[in-house]
Amino acid sequence: MKVDLLVVNAGQLLTLAAPAPRRGADMADLGLLRGGAVAVHEGRIVAAGLQDEVRSRYEAERQFDAGGRVVMPAFVDPHTHVLYGGGRIAEFELRLKGAGYQEIMASGGGIMSTVRATRAASDEALLGESARRLARMRAQGTATAEVKSGYGLSVEAELRMLRLTPALAERTGMRLVPTFLGAHAVPAEYAGRAEAYVDLVVEEMLPHVVGLAEYCDVFCDEGAFTLEETARVLRRAKELGLGVKLHADEFAALGATELAVELGAASADHLMVTPDAARARLAQSSTAAVLLPGTSFGLKSGRYADGRAWVDAGAIVALASDCNPGTAPNESLPFTIALACRMMGLTPAEAVVAATLNAAYAIGRAGEVGSLAPGKAADLVILDAEDYRELAYRFGSNLVWQTVVGGNAA
């Protein structure tokens, strides 16, 4: 059969062919073949297998020689705040001198300073700055990313962020999944009136978000939204047909993880201070545990989510960058993997599954991306390495030699 493209000479081909989501021992199953090839037609994978078999069945005008390198699914980043204006370098320096993240937030900086910069930026400026960040993410292997709103915090400014997300996808050639995070912080105009702001989110924002966002997320934490406020927003979101997600247990364990299970959330994210009993409940559910080691690193915190315990408990563990201007100006899933192995106890194979197939599951894309299975999008990464474990071992260099999205290299 004739196809558009054959990627040949993969020294290691990681197909991740077994079904998603992965838990426990299955998280280490990479479907690794030595000497592999991938056949691609009309942007989709037709076959991924041993080179001799694939080559005997498929012919292509275009061949891409991987030269013995690793070929694997492109990364999926299931938690980002990559769309924003301005930066927080001054705040970073304050934190280097000892100021706390929540302290800065309480004094009107932090998220609110990005809200001011985002509101003030033109559409073009927002798109331009964010597209540059996404281009760097793509250069490090990310083809699909979730993108949260949450730096608008007014009806118009939140809807603008969601409307700009498809334009950003178009500009970068990446697959972006929009999430509404109107409950990210109580904006200055509503200081001391959190309930009135939650009314605005529930009554004025959410109905307009339908059709623009796939998920609704809430930052449930000390200094952000209470468990009751979170439940109110997410219950309404569910009624309107949105998927739900939570920023849970980042600084304080308020019960957000249990709420995620109760609501059948797609994911609970952060989980840095989750109590054992809550971990056990989430691990038995179909809600993914999205871990963000770049955030702990960015906060200079010694406190990382216990990735080993999450995998051993049987949770659907995924990894994400949390790319945001405050806690994690992190554009690299390879660096996130390197951290997850050192600081959270994951093995390189588990970290790869967490940043591809399980990450896709966490944003409802496991049928489309995250593994090299026939019918899925031809999103793959070629590493300038002969062993996939280099991804975890090396850090500070970019091992991604090529990111292919829908059969096209950048």
Q: How far apart are CA 75 and CA 311, in angstroms?
A: 19
- Chain residues binding Fe ion by CB under 5 A are 322
Q: Name the residue with the smallest CB distance to Fe ion.
A: 322
Which among ligand NIG, Fe ion, none contacts residue 114 (Cβ within 5 to 8 A by kind)?
A: ligand NIG
Q: How far apart are CA 233 and CA 320, in angstroms?
A: 24
Q: Quick one: 7 or 282, whose CB is closer to Fe ion?
A: 282
Q: Quick one: 258 or 269, whose CB is closer to Fe ion?
A: 269
Q: How far apart are CA 398 and CA 59, in angstroms?
A: 32
Quick check: 295 and 328 in contact, CB under 8 A?
yes
Number of residues engaging ligand NIG in binding (CB under 6 A): 13
Which among Fe ion, ligand NIG, none contacts residue 250 (Cβ within 5 to 8 A by kind)?
A: ligand NIG
Cβ 285 to ligand NIG, closest distance in Å? 21
User: How buried is residue 43: exposed, middle or buried, by Cβ count under 10 Å (0-12/13-18/19+)?
Assistant: middle
List 86, 255, 293, 325, residue binding ligand NIG (CB under 6 A): 325
Q: Quick one: 320 or 377, whose CB is closer to ligand NIG?
A: 320
Q: Name the residue with the smallest CB distance to ligand NIG.
A: 326
- Among the residue ranges 1-9, 29-37, 324-332, 390-398, the one whose residues contact ligand NIG (CB under 6 A): 324-332
Instruction: Check residue 167 and give left, alpha or beta (phi > 0: left; psi -120 to 50: alpha).
Output: alpha
Q: Quick one: 298 or 407, whose CB is closer to ligand NIG?
A: 298
Between vectors from CA 394 to CA 301 and to CA 404, what angle results, nearest 5°?
Answer: 105
Cβ 325 to ligand NIG, closest distance in Å? 5
Which among ligand NIG, Fe ion, none contacts residue 365 (Cβ within 5 to 8 A by kind)?
A: none
Residue whose token pair is 């945001």: 324
Q: Quick one: 39 or 201, whose CB is closer to ligand NIG?
A: 201
Q: Quick one: 158 or 379, whose CB is closer to Fe ion?
A: 158
Cβ 283 to ligand NIG, closest distance in Å? 22
Residue whose token pair is 């334009």: 167
Question: Is 326 an interacting residue with respect to ligand NIG (CB under 6 A)?
Answer: yes
Cβ 186 to ligand NIG, closest distance in Å? 13
- Among the residue ranges 64-72, 109-117, 124-132, 197-205, the one whose residues contact ligand NIG (CB under 6 A): 109-117
List 247, 279, 281, 376, residue binding ligand NIG (CB under 6 A): 247
Residue type, 385: A
Q: How far apart are CA 159 and CA 164, in angstroms?
A: 9
Cβ 356 to Fe ion, closest distance in Å? 20
Question: Is 64 an interacting residue with respect to ligand NIG (CB under 6 A)?
Answer: no
**What residues contact 150, with CB distance under 8 A and at least 6 apart?**
81, 111, 158, 161, 181, 182, 184, 185, 217, 219
Spell out the alpha helix ranges (H) of 344-375: 348-354, 357-362
List 51, 149, 296, 327, residue binding ligand NIG (CB under 6 A): 327
Question: Is 250 an interacting residue with respect to ligand NIG (CB under 6 A)?
Answer: yes
DSSP-assigned letter for residue 80: -
List 140, 274, 295, 321, residue binding ligand NIG (CB under 6 A): 295
Question: Is 114 an interacting residue with respect to ligand NIG (CB under 6 A)?
Answer: yes
- CA 315 to each of CA 337, 362, 393: distance values in angstroms, whole numbers, following the listed order: 18, 12, 24
Kindly state the helix (H) or strand (E) to which residue 113 belongs, with its residue range. Answer: helix 111-120
* Residues counted in the chain: 410
DSSP string of 169-238? HHHHT-EEEEEEEEETS--GGGTT-HHHHHHIIIIIIHHHHBTTBSEEEEEBSTTSB-HHHHHHHHHHHH
- Among the residue ranges 11-19, 54-62, 201-209, 322-330, the one whose residues contact ligand NIG (CB under 6 A): 322-330
Cβ 362 to Fe ion, closest distance in Å? 13
Binding site for ligand NIG (CB under 6 A): 81, 110-111, 114, 219, 247, 250, 295, 322, 324-327
